[in-house]
């Protein structure tokens, strides 16, 4: 999995680390009530589910790998563009802004590399493909 799809594997691992950590931070924040915790969990949970879907597709060498990777990459790009603008223009200290912009840049670069990796993958002959 890692050797054949290094960028995609990196995107999966990176996404799980970044976003599942966020879930832990939300539920560990005593300033939030239960409703706020559930609402805050929706976005990181969406990333976690997409990343697990890509991981499953990689392991199973599923035909839907391309769709899964493009879904995760597209979601990553869209969310980080919006979040980066909100973070950069929000009332945050410089360290917070820098850390989150770096997280966003790494995420977007991995997403772009993952999609590019799909197009460089050699096509297997029909007789070798899973049905």
Report the run of H or E that residue 12 belongs to, with start and end.
Answer: helix 6-27
Quick: pLDDT tens for 1-13: 567 899 999 999 9
pLDDT recorded at residue 2: 62
Angle at 43 between CA 39 and CA 47, to 5 degrees: 150
Would 78 be classed as within a structural domain? yes
Q: What is the rounded CA–CA span in Å between residue 89 and residue 91? A: 7
Cβ atoms within 10 Å of 7's Cβ, excluding its own: 20
Asked if residue 27 belongs to a domain, the reply is yes
Range list of H helices, 28-131: 34-60, 65-89, 94-120
Residue 69 in any domain: the answer is yes
* Residue 65 counted as domain residue: yes
| 104 falls within a domain | yes
Find, among 95, 15, 10, 26, the residue nearest to 58 by Cα.
Answer: 10
For tokens 């990176």, what's the residue? Answer: 14
Q: Which two tokens stand for residue 58?
A: 């990689």
Mean of pLDDT values over 82-99: 94
Residue 90, Cβ density class (10 Å: 0-12 exposed, 13-18 middle, ≥19 buried): exposed
* Domain total in the chain: 1
- Other beta carbons within 10 angstroms of residue 12's beta carbon come to 27
> Alpha-carbon distance 104 to 47, whole Å?
13
Domain annotation covers residue 131? no
Q: Give residue-wise pLDDT tens across range 59-81.
A: 999 999 999 999 999 999 999 99
CATH number at residue 21: 1.20.1270
**Is residue 129 in some structural domain?**
no
Judge whether 128 lies within some domain: no
Can you give the pTM of this predicted structure? Answer: 0.86
Structural domain for 73, as ranges: 6-120
């Amino acid at each position: 999995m890692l050797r054949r799809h290094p960028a995609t594997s990196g995107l999966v691992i990176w996404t799980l680390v970044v976003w599942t950590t966020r879930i832990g931070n939300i539920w560990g924040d005593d300033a939030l009530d239960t409703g706020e915790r559930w609402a805050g969990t929706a976005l990181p949970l969406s990333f976690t589910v997409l990343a697990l879907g890509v991981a499953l597709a990689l392991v199973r060498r599923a035909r839907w790998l391309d769709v899964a990777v493009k879904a995760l990459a597209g979601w990553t790009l869209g969310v980080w563009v919006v979040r980066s603008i909100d973070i950069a223009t929000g009332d945050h200290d410089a360290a917070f802004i820098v850390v989150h912009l770096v997280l966003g840049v790494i995420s977007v670069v991995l997403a772009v590399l993952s999609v590019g990796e799909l197009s460089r993958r050699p096509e297997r002959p029909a007789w070798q493909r899973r049905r």
